[in-house]
Amino acid sequence: MSIKEAEAKIIGEFSYFEDWMDKYNYIIELGKTLPMIDPVYKTDEYKIEGCQSNVWLQAEYKEGLLYFTADSDAIITKGIVNLLIRVLSGRTPQEILNADLAYLDEIGLKQHLSVTRSNGLLSMIKQIKRFALVYSLKEQPENTAVQ
């Protein structure tokens, strides 16, 4: 499934709900299915700065793809990070870097979050893209000296 297909699936899921309380409850349910981070990564090194809640994100690079696990001490934040992981985990670094994540606007997430949660969402996206950038640079062949 492509990123766009994963985004369309989430948009479809959210279209079943008419009011935002139902959507919040769905986000909370998504938090319960978050791919959980190994407790060894629940350290300051993996903690995302800029989030109102504590959020930890870990990336594993296998066979050219990045896989994410996360955790948070806030159930709504677990659901929000799961919305990102569902779309971006199992992708190449370049796919992640190129993702525009427009589905977050289409489901109305950004406009219904408090300012602090919106900042946290942006911090999560930045951290995921930082991981992708680091691993995309590792994929590039080393520069050879010009003679």
The answer to whether the beta carbons of residues 30 and 22 sit under 8 Å apart is no
The values of phi and psi at residue 48, to 5°, are: -85, 120
Contact 105, 20 (CB under 8 A): no
Residue 70 main-chain phi, psi, to 5 deg: -155, 170
Packing angle, helices 3-15 and 20-31, rounded to 10: 130
Environment class of residue 11 by beta-carbon count within 10 Å: exposed (0-12), middle (13-18) or buried (19+)?
middle
Catalytic residue among 51, 76, 87, 104: 51
The answer to whether residue 51 is catalytic is yes
Catalytically active residues, by annotation: 51
